[in-house]
Structure 1
Amino acid sequence: MAQKSAGSAAAGAKSGRWHAFHEKFVVEERYVDAADRRRLYRASVILAVVGLALFIATLVSVLQADGLTVADHPVHDWLLTTRSAALTAFMIFLAIFFGPIALPIIVLVVILIWGFAAKHAWRPILLASAMLAGVIVSQIILHIVQRSRPPVDQMLFGADQTFSYPSGHVLGACDFLLVGAYLIFSRRRNPRAAVFGFIGAGIGIILAIVSRLYLGYHWPTDTLASFSLSLLILGGVIALDTWRTARIPGEPVTGELSKEESGLD
């Protein structure tokens, strides 16, 4: 009898663990107003179109060495005149924070903590997918365009002779901050929180861009291309998330968990 009870308890624990694991990968559907869903789709299209148009403009300018690139050398030369010991130390800190070692660790920690703490892992998985997409796209473009960086003797944090267009540092920062802000604040009903969230993301992006330009590792159009690609990725994330999770009253939702969270039957 005791053995039977122990076996039942073990089976129940195993079933409970499997249920908890299954819950993690149930996509969290939610009810929104029809107008809000239309606005989300509209925003995703606008972001994708603006991002693509801006990227094409920078790409054509870089390939033809005209257009937007006419500002590259003047901006670079002006930044050389603003350098100081204190400012350089701050910019190096930003370069490390948004760099290829620290930022991936930060992103991984955020995704793991969020994934384990959240009831569902849909949004952490979306964030991870967006970051991975940015890395893949930037590496492909880097090796196709093969643009040279500014002179090595003007770089303040070690020589870097890899390709320059687009900036991987800036693209990673933009993806993490913009996509992260959307995934966090899209579930909140207070629009002011979303405004402040995206303002904070914008400040972080500006700091990431300025640090790369100040330290002499990129031309301005490199960073503009990265920002444009991030807008394109953000538009894709919003469209995918809205398609998969946003339901209007009257539409069915799949899964009892989603029904419980929606507050509607």
Structure 2
Amino acid sequence: MLALAGTATFVLTLGQVLDGQGIATADGPVTAWFVDHRNGFTTAVLTAFAFVFGPVALPVITLLATTAWALLTRCLWRPLLLAGAMVTGVIVTEATAHAVGRPRPPSTLMMLGADPTSSFPSGHVVGAANFLLVGAYLVFSRSTAISPPAAFSAAATGVILEATSRIYLGYHWFTDTLASASISMVILAFVITLDVTRGKQTPREPKREPSALNGCLQR
């Protein structure tokens, strides 16, 4: 259901963007509203979000997080799933942006320098959504410290803030960020599927006592 919802949202959004109809008609007014409400404090906060989930900082954060996670837990499965989700997001985003070739908002609205690359979808939002949503699932679906709904709510808040920063700073349209979130929904669905089906025994396979390493990899 998650994959279906994400795919449907992406396809509908892309169709309306290409036709310039439907939800795409809100792009101009939404951007104008954010531009009209710019202020120093909000700009500083959202610029920080843009940096953390940008193409320079986020790969470093992901590498450090997955490496530390693997070393501390001596488990590779969950860190590899997160790393795989991040790499997949980059590939899908770049391929889609090249295929669609949508222009960004006017460069006069961009607060951190001009960016001539394609606007649809937002790599920042895909990266943030994959890191936060997939990370929330992988960590808190197995933890009693924080309930999964609370973890996903916090992750979703972070994604919304990153999407807001991309519109506010003048680099993306609203529909770019919506499509980006839908891509991450599909990736999250595949991560969950891989995670919950891994290690299941076939009916003819005799049950074996799991080793410490196998038990770690399946958790």
Does TM, scored on the shorter chain, surpass 0.5?
yes
The count of corresponding residues between Structure 1 and Structure 2 is: 214
* Larger RCO, structure (CA 8 Å, separation 6 or more): 1
Q: Which amino acid aligns with 1:56?
A: V
What is the root-mean-square deviation of aligned Cα atoms in Å?
2.1
Deviations, residues 208-265 of structure 1 (Å, cap 9, x unaligned): 0111110000000000000000000000000011110467xxx83574226766xxxx
Which residue in 2 is equivalent to 1:156?
111
Assess, with a 3 A threshold, how the Cα gap between structure 1 residues 189 and 86 changes in structure 2: closer, same or farther.
closer
Q: Which amino acid aligns with 2:195?
A: D
Assess, with a 3 A threshold, how the Cα gap between structure 1 residues 254 and 90 changes in structure 2: closer, same or farther.
same
234-243 or 113-122, which moves further after superposition?
A: 113-122
Give TM-score scaled by structure 1 length: 0.76
Kept after mapping to 2: 8 A contact 1:181/1:198: yes
Structure 2 CA distance for aligned equivalents of residues 133 and 141 of structure 1: 12
Q: Which amino acid aligns with 1:78?
A: W
* C-alpha displacement of 1:119: 2.4
Q: 2:76 aligns with which of 101, 107, 121?
A: 121
Q: 2:90 aligns with which of 122, 135, 139?
A: 135
Which residue in 1 is equivalent to 2:138?
183
Q: 2:33 aligns with which of 78, 97, 102?
A: 78
Give TM-score scaled by structure 2 length: 0.91
Q: Which amino acid aligns with 2:102?
A: R
Q: 1:202 aligns with which of 156, 162, 165?
A: 156
Deviations, residues 134-172 of structure 1 (Å, cap 9, x unaligned): 000000000000000000001111111110000000000
Q: 1:68 aligns with which of 23, 43, 56?
A: 23
Which residue in 2 is equivalent to 1:37?
none
Q: Which amino acid aligns with 1:80?
A: V
Aligned residue for 1:165, secondary structure, equals: coil
Q: Which runs of 5+ in 1 are unaligned?
A: 1-45
Q: Which runs of 5+ in 2 are unaligned?
A: none
* C-alpha displacement of 1:115: 1.4
Identity %: 46
Structure 1 CA distance for aligned equivalents of residues 56 and 136 of structure 2: 22
* C-alpha displacement of 1:188: 2.6
Kept after mapping to 2: 8 A contact 1:253/1:259: no
Which residue in 2 is equivalent to 1:10?
none
Structure 1 CA distance for aligned equivalents of residues 209 and 96 of structure 2: 39
Q: Which amino acid aligns with 1:240?
A: L
Which residue in 2 is equivalent to 1:145?
100
Structure 1 CA distance for aligned equivalents of residues 187 and 48 of structure 2: 27
Assess, with a 3 A threshold, how the Cα gap between structure 1 residues 253 and 73 changes in structure 2: closer, same or farther.
farther
Larger Rg belongs to: 1
195-204 or 135-144, which moves further after superposition?
A: 195-204
* C-alpha displacement of 1:93: 1.3
Deviations, residues 35-87 of structure 1 (Å, cap 9, x unaligned): xxxxxxxxxxx110000000001110111111220111110111111011222
* C-alpha displacement of 1:94: 1.3
Q: 1:225 aligns with which of 179, 194, 205?
A: 179
Structure 2 CA distance for aligned equivalents of residues 186 and 226 of structure 1: 24
Aligned residue for 2:111, secondary structure, equals: coil
Assess, with a 3 A threshold, how the Cα gap between structure 1 residues 102 and 259 changes in structure 2: closer, same or farther.
closer
Q: Which amino acid aligns with 1:127?
A: L
Q: 1:94 aligns with which of 46, 49, 64?
A: 49
Aligned residue for 2:198, secondary structure, equals: helix
Which residue in 2 is equivalent to 1:238?
192
